[in-house]
């Protein structure tokens, strides 16, 4: 590890025909980091990645890599190979020729090229496909070819643009752990763009949540998941319920927030004063469901069961409350079965004060 950042973005902006795609982004990515940019489509994450690769010119700002300015370099003068969402493999070349492409461009001796491509094809498990045409490969195999083609040049930084986006769910999970292992073993700085938050949270050590061309939050997966810095992050990352209210009283570490007919105790991390309008969140997986007759607790609201959605063994249940029609609660499928709820059933939802989080 060196102390100079692998990539430094200084006041980077990009405007396309009057539309701002990236707006004044400042970011320093350390050597060996696995950073994921997440955000909805059009948030500027891919544009940021493409500017690092040189495929897009910033409208303003500077980009430095290991202390050297690179924003004026042509894409082919940079050392930032990209793994494309659609793989962008050369269909008129065999697997081995695709992998060898970057090395040929570097004009390495033939023997060295042979050795290195064999090494990397072996490593990502495509050695037996070396003479195949690209059209004969499955999505997962293409992904591996794309990875080998980028990594064989031994870059210090690897850019990945939704690399698992075109794969089916099962393969995606498998590739996630492989990518993570690969990053840890090689120590290469991974800059990863995805709209899939679970992918980002599972792999990256650092997550940059982007919206409307700006970085909304930069932090560890746990930070962006449990302590979102604003309303957008709270809604985009994880599955949070947002409740708007007014601070009624402060009681040491907690404050009482009045919202509609209820009042809630919320940790007062950011020192609000009584009368402040605030928003707090409670994550869907931290909410308990009890019968409407259960004894009164703090942080409790009345709700009506309206719908459910299954993702594997986890069920997301939707409740109608005075705060809206889609209060979300996530539980294990087993636990939900035990409850035996029917649509229209009235229940109480509650949570521990320390599990809620006030937005700044």
Partner 1 sequence: MRRLNAFFATITVPPILWQVIFFLVPLIFLVVMTFWSVQNYRLKPDFTFTNWQKVLAAGYFYDIYLRTFLYAAAATVITSIVAFPVSLFLGLNAGPRFRIVAIFLLICPFFTSYLVRTYSWQVIISDNGIINTMLGAVGIGQVAMLNTFVGTMIGYATFFLPLVILLQFASIAAIDRDLIQAAHNLRCGRLRTIFAVVVPSAKVGLTVGAAFAFILAFGDFVAPSLLGGGRSPTLSILIIDTVKSASDWPRASVVAMAMIVTMMGVIFAALTFAYRKPGETH
Q: Nearest approach, Cβ of 347 to partner 1 (angstroms)?
A: 51
Q: Give me the 300-339 binding string for partner 1, x by CB under 8 A, dash otherwise.
A: ----------------------------------------
Site for partner 1 (CB under 8 A): which residue of 44, 81, 163, 272?
Answer: 81
CA distance 264 to 255: 8
Residue 276 phi, psi dihedral angles, 5° rounding:
-65, 140
Looking at 68, 92, 295, 344, which residue binds partner 1 (CB under 8 A)?
A: 92
Choose between 90 and 343: whose C-beta lies nearer to partner 1.
Answer: 90
Q: Which of 95, 100, 110, 102 is nearest to 75 (CA)?
A: 102
CA distance 93 to 116: 18
For the chain, the residue count is: 360
Nearer of residues 53 and 341 to partner 1, judged by Cβ? 53
Write out the two tokens for 161: 């643009």
| 118 contributes a contact to partner 1 by CB under 8 A | no
Does position 110 bind partner 1 by CB under 8 A? no
Q: Is 76 in the site for partner 1 (CB under 8 A)?
A: yes
Contact (CB, 8 A) for 299 and 321:
no
- For partner 1, which residue of 74, 271, 338, 342 counts as binding (CB under 8 A)? 74
Binding partner 1 (rule: CB under 8 A), the pick from 110, 119, 122, 131 is 131
Alpha-carbon gap, residue 47 to 110, rounded angstroms = 36
Q: Which of 132, 214, 231, 328 binds partner 1 (CB under 8 A)?
A: 132
Q: Is 153 in the site for partner 1 (CB under 8 A)?
A: yes
106 contacts partner 1 (rule: CB under 8 A)? yes
Nearer to partner 1, 75 or 125 (CB): 75
Q: Cα Rg for the chain, rounded, in angstroms? A: 24
3-state secondary structure 215-257: EEEEECHHHHHHCCCCHHHHHHCCCEEEEEEEEEEEECCEEEE
Under the binding rule (CB under 8 A), the answer on residue 186 touching partner 1 is no
**With binding defined as CB under 8 A, does residue 97 bind partner 1?**
yes
Pick the piece of the chain touching partner 1 (CB under 8 A) from 132-140, 279-287, 306-314, 342-350: 132-140
Considering only residues 2, 11, 69, 75, which one is a binding residue for partner 1 as defined by CB under 8 A? 75
Cβ 38 to partner 1 shortest distance, Å: 22
Q: How many residues bind partner 1 (CB under 8 A)?
A: 33
Contact 274, 334 (CB under 8 A): no
Q: Report the distance separating Cα 218 and Cα 5, nearest Å.
A: 16
Question: Under rule CB under 8 A, which residues in 187-246 are in contact with partner 1?
Answer: none
In the bound state with partner 1, the residue whose beta carbon lies nearer, of 21 and 266, is 21
**Sequence-distant (≥ 6) Cβ neighbours of residue 350 within 8 angstroms:** 287, 288, 290, 297, 298, 299, 300, 301
Helix (H, G, I), strand (E, B) or coil at 158: strand
What percentage of the chain's residues is helix, strand, coil (to nearest 5)? 30, 35, 35
Closest approach, Cβ 156 to partner 1, in A, equals: 14
Which residues of the shown chain bind partner 1 in the complex (CB under 8 A)? 53-55, 74-77, 80-82, 84, 86, 88-95, 97, 101-102, 105-106, 131-135, 149-150, 153
């Amino acid at each position: 590890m060196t102390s100079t950042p692998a990539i430094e973005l200084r006041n980077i902006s990009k405007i396309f025909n009057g539309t701002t795609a990236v707006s004044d982004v400042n970011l320093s990515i350390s050597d060996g980091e696995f950073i994921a940019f997440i955000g909805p489509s059009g948030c500027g994450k891919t544009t940021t990645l493409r500017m690092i690769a040189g495929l897009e010119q910033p409208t303003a700002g500077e980009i430095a890599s290991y202390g050297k300015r690179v924003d004026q370099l042509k894409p082919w003068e940079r050392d930032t190979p990209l793994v494309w969402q659609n793989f962008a493999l050369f269909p008129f070349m065999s697997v081995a020729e695709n992998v060898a492409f970057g090395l040929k461009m570097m004009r390495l001796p033939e023997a060295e090229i042979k050795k290195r491509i064999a090494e990397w094809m072996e490593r990502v498990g495509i050695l037996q496909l070396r003479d195949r045409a690209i059209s004969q490969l499955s999505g997962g195999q293409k992904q591996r070819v794309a990875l080998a083609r980028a990594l064989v040049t031994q870059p210090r930084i690897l850019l990945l643009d939704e690399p698992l986006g075109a794969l089916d769910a099962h393969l995606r999970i498998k590739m996630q752990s492989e990518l993570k292992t690969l990053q840890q073993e090689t120590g290469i700085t991974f800059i990863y763009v995805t709209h899939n938050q679970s992918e980002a949270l599972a792999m990256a050590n650092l997550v940059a949540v982007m919206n409307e061309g700006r970085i909304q939050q930069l932090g560890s997966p746990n930070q962006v998941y449990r302590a979102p810095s604003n309303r957008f992050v709270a809604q985009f990352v994880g599955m949070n319920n947002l409740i708007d209210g007014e601070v009624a009283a402060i009681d040491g570490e907690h404050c009482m927030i009045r919202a509609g007919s209820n009042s809630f105790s919320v940790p007062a991390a950011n020192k609000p004063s009584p009368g402040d309008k605030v928003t707090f969140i409670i994550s869907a997986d931290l909410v308990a469901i009890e019968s409407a007759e259960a004894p009164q607790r703090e942080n409790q609201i009345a709700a009506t069961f309206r719908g459910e959605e299954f993702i594997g063994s986890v069920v997301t249940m939707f409740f109608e409350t005075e705060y809206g029609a889609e209060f979300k609660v996530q539980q294990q499928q087993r636990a939900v079965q035990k409850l035996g709820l029917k649509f229209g059933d009235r229940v109480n939802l509650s949570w521990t004060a320390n599990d809620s989080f006030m937005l700044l």
